[in-house]
Structure 1
């Protein structure tokens, strides 16, 4: 039975899509400004060394990643109580996230004392990074689990995920422009307002059924064979996508020598990802989730193979590469999460353990980023590349790492998808 006073079931219209997906937009603010804007702000305004800031960010993200499975267990407990308990948790997490985000950029400690005041500032930064990331993770897992609990066939699951991820891509675009255009004060205010709006709209979104469930199980997803197979594919594919994301600015500045066109390239990539989602949904309706995801992997391989042929000044060609790889990004964002929702349903864990599954899923997502940096950057250094290098050998190493390595990893992911999924799963 559905909860009394619950919103109507999912019908797929714009109103319901926006109501559910809008929370994805402000959540995108947390990743980008904290990684891009925060280090520069603390270094320029407060004189904090970049190495120290990097260590703080790494520590906070590691804490965040390790906490995700436990957060998933908490989320399942809230869903077992009522939709009201879930929404109350979302309100509290949103409040803490907004306060932490604001406090990071406007510290409530003495910032005029120079080196003598740095220990207090660093302690403040570390505490608020932990608060912001943990509350962000609660909202993310809660949001994902809510969508998965709405159920439906492959097409419906893909549409639900596309609303969430499409609005998250819009949030990335807004968050990348707003700090430089309007300043940090406006950025933090916009984040707080859109976060409040996202939670308010979620309260009006279609609500999942509330069922009597057993105690939330932290390890149950890892005992589900289909989840382990899907997670293996997702990990390899995620590293393949994270490697070029880690190296893209080096490639633009040194191989293409087109730093002035960075906004064009990045905007083309993210906009293509968002706009391609209806295309992938049509593919799902005709070919199914897994085969459509395989097509996205093939497109990504073709895009990065083409990028390997480019050199200095190839702005138009690389813009086309960004558009093509952005379209492939749309598949990566929309389809794996919809496949996961199906795994949960078939395992008999629907309406019970969505939080646990997405907790481990988010742990894998963050592990992807760490593995990409841990593989690509040392590999570049070993082959003699340093930022700003223009000699042929260094640029060749950069091209191999940015283009060839993702192609090989995507090919491995596509092979795993075929061997571990398409050959094992029954036809739709």
Structure 2
């Protein structure tokens, strides 16, 4: 702990927490909030989110290019990005739309995720230099960073639910509280925003020509999609399939807290037994444990909580080991890391966009309505989307990792 404090690793923990708090929970809460509060259709919200991801196809690699070349004033520019992140969150949840709600949703969430992209790319690229040349440095930093990310998800996931009933405008309080923590995180990271180690940035085409980098990106894409799919319809599954309104926040906390608690353990196991072996084991446990969700129904929330503990703990391995594996590869082929993590960011966010653009319209097409007594056909579709699709995708990811050699993922 003394060494970690000397290296300022807790600053990475806090900054990762605010980034994760701005990412996955927003995909969980924002569509439902705008559907319930302003009557925006799920199909339209899904289309907006997918359109934003099309912007990311161009934006994220470009932001990575900027991050690699940002030398003077780096800390100031990134702190400005944090300010935009906080302001966009306040606009999304705490300000009544001054224009048609769907346009306000699109405007604020574009600002939020553009700022998130730039900060996330720069943050992970900074970690490549921070970890140093040693093999275990990336795993150690990832443990601190991803533990913070998971704790941030926990806090952001439960805050709106806990605030409901306690205050008159829970989402507004959440948004302003988030903005305050962003300010603290920005101050703590200011000394860490050092210029990239090399002024010569690696062309993105060079990264894409590297076979190991391409396989890791493909694995990240397929492996992240199950979580994105499940997250997109999670609130609907708990409310309508399990018929357990009010359980959403606690269940999310159980899931992500299990992931956060498991992160140091996965890091230690990977240092001893190797990333591939440990990650494969975790992915298999995740796929098998999650199959139980296919058979749950009304009144099964306590059993679902047990599944959340098991599957959440396995997600900790995904979130710690995969970025560390990619960072090690970037340290060899693209030491600045900006454009490499621009691609990584694009892959991660595309999964959420894919889920929103496909699942929400399918759910609406089946006759599903939020807060209503839905027909059995709609509940079956909900179960298929929440459980069957992620399980199938997880087994595809397992196959991809199994086909990679130990030399590709651990050197």
- The answer to whether residue 147 in structure 2 is matched with residue 166 in structure 1 is yes
Structure 2: gaps (5+ residues): none
- Report the TM-score when normalising by structure 2: 0.84
Q: Does 1:133 align with 2:113?
A: yes
Distance 1:325 1:262 in 2: 16
1:371 maps to 354
Residue among 161, 166, 178 paired with 2:159: 178
**Deviation, structure 1 residue 45:** 6.4
**In the aligned structure 2, how far is the partner of 1:41 from the partner of 1:426?**
40
Q: CA deviation at 1:92?
A: 1.6
Q: 1:253 to 1:337 in 2, by over 3 A?
A: same
Partner of 2:296, secondary structure, is coil
Describe how 1:27-426 pairs up with structure 2 within 5 A: 27-31=19-23, 34-35=26-27, 38=30, 54-78=46-70, 81=71, 85-105=73-93, 107=95, 111=98, 118=99, 126-152=106-132, 153-179=134-160, 181=163, 183-205=170-192, 210-215=196-201, 217-347=203-333, 349-350=334-335, 352=336, 354-374=337-357, 376=359, 386=368, 388-389=373-374, 391=376, 395-422=379-406, 425=408
**Cα drift, residue 216 of structure 1:** 5.0
Partner Cα distance (1:41, 1:262) in 2? 14
**RMSD across aligned positions (CA):** 3.3
Deviation of residue 274 (structure 1)? 0.8
Q: What SS class does the counterpart of residue 211 from structure 1 fall into?
A: coil
User: Equivalents in 1 of 2:96, 2:248: separation in Å?
Assistant: 34
2:2 paired with 1:21? no
CA distance in 1, matches of 2:92, 2:181: 18
Supply the distance in 2 between the matched residues of 1:288 and 1:174 (Cα, whole angstroms).
31
Rounded to whole Å, the distance in 1 between the matches of 2:33 and 2:243 is: 26
Q: Secondary structure at the match of 1:281?
A: helix
Which of 175-184 and 92-101 deviates more? 175-184
Deviation digits for residues 139-175 of structure 1, max 9, x if unmatched? Answer: 1111111112223444321221232222222222322
Q: Following the alignment from structure 1 to structure 2, what is the Cα–Cα distance between the partners of residues 146 and 19?
A: 12
Partner Cα separation in structure 1 for residue 175 and residue 385 of structure 2? 36
* Paired residues of 1:240 and 1:405 also in contact (CA < 8 A): yes
Measure, in 2, the Cα distance between the counterparts of 1:123 and 1:30: 20
The structure with the largest alpha-carbon Rg is 1
Q: Are the counterparts in 1 of residues 159 and 174 from structure 2 also a CA contact under 8 Å? A: yes
| Deviation of 1:325 (Å) | 0.6
